[in-house]
Amino acid sequence: IVGEWSTFLPALKFAREQGLSITLHCGEVPNKKEIQAMLNFLPGRIGHACFFEEEEMGKLKSSKIPVEICLTSNIRTASISSIDVHHFGWVFCFYLIFFSQSCLS
């Protein structure tokens, strides 16, 4: 799904009110305003986080929001140019709470 973050906010709020956990694909593209808005929503989990800066990583850590990273997806969609420059190592060292390997292939 693509579009403005604000378009989906009412549906996401409703889903949360119904007891559903929310996972957001966030930071797959560089868009600081959208990343900050999504983090302020406090989702149950964040997917990707390719373009998070230290400020956003600090927010993740203080909010205890887990990150799910998919190395192959990030490379195939050109969010990351190669595995050598992937942010996994940086995220892992900075943010040692939770990682899901469900997307690794």
Residues carrying an active site annotation: 28
Instruction: Output the CA–CA distances (angstroms, integers) from residue 2 to 8, 29, 57, 62, 63, in the order listed.
Output: 10, 12, 23, 28, 26
Residues 52 and 31: their CA atoms lie apart, in Å, by 9
Q: Identify any residues that bridge with 68 across adjacent strands, giving them in sequence order.
A: 47, 100
Q: Are 49 and 28 in contact (CB under 8 A)?
A: no
